[in-house]
A and B are shown apart, each in its own frame.
Chain A
Amino acid sequence: MGRSAAENAKKVLFVIEDSPTDHLRAFEAMRMALGFSVTHHGMKILLRGRGVLALREVHPGLISLPPELVEVLPLLGDLSVGLFADADSVRLYLPGKSLPGGVSLLSEEEVVHLLGESDLVLGFWSRGKVA
């Protein structure tokens, strides 16, 4: 018997390490993820490093960023995209802040497992150190 479409679906994970206000890359990654979520059910997003700053309140108009910046993440949650944040990064960048509902914290071991079980990881990683 053939496998169902859900069983055959690729497990897609977006990893975002850029702050949403440092560079438009983070916003573009979210928009791309929004597009992917239409055809890839069960898609996940992992916020890591300064990427977790997407979980705090921001007023994009004050810094000339697109107003849609604050709409994409809640929309992804509404579309049942799995939202995850690296626990170490949250402790470092958002100490004491309560996270929006629907965001799950992952230990480093769980992050490694999530990366390993994904068929396609689209990484928006922070830049390496220049020697």
Chain B
Amino acid sequence: MTSNRLLLLTVFPPPEAFFLVRDQVGKDEEPAIVLLAGEGVRNHFSDSSRTYFLETDLAGRGIVPGEGALSDDEGALLLLSASSVMTFT
């Protein structure tokens, strides 16, 4: 089964363990998807190809939603379709 791991990050800056998990857990798998919500939308990662933001939370912080911005419905679908979810809240 294809791994579709999702990391839900709602804090800024990230907990130190976030990087351990992102870099070590499932390192032989496809990189995890990162969904940023709440204060988490303030985070920036150099590899943003699998990073998504909740549009409402960007707009609520005066940030113009750009690439990777998702509606609440799209964010919920992303969570529900993941094979595993880890929360960083």
A118 to B87, CA, bound (A): 12
For the complex, count residues of B whose C-beta is within 8 A of A: 20
Asked whether, in the complex, the Cβ of B86 is within 8 Å of the Cβ of A17, the reply is no
Asked whether, in the complex, the Cβ of B25 is within 8 Å of the Cβ of A128, the reply is no
Asked whether, in the complex, the Cβ of A128 is within 8 Å of the Cβ of B26, the reply is no
Q: Answer whether residue B65 sits at the interface, using C-beta atoms and an 8 A cutoff.
A: no
Measured as residues with beta carbon below 8 angstroms from the partner, the interface class of chain A is 20 to 34
Asked whether, in the complex, the Cβ of A125 is within 8 Å of the Cβ of B25, the reply is no
Chain A nearest CB, measured from B3 CB (Å): 9
Contact of B11 among A119, A128, A131 (CB under 8 A): A128
Q: Which A residues have a C-beta under 8 Å from some C-beta of B?
A: 15, 17, 48, 112, 115-116, 118-131
Q: Which B residues have a C-beta under 8 Å from some C-beta of A?
A: 11-18, 20-21, 24-26, 83-89
A-B contacts, 23 listed (Cβ < 8 Å): A17-B17, A115-B86, A116-B26, A118-B84, A119-B83, A120-B84, A120-B85, A120-B86, A121-B84, A121-B87, A122-B87, A123-B15, A123-B87, A123-B88, A125-B17, A126-B15, A126-B16, A128-B12, A128-B13, A128-B15, A129-B13, A129-B16, A130-B13
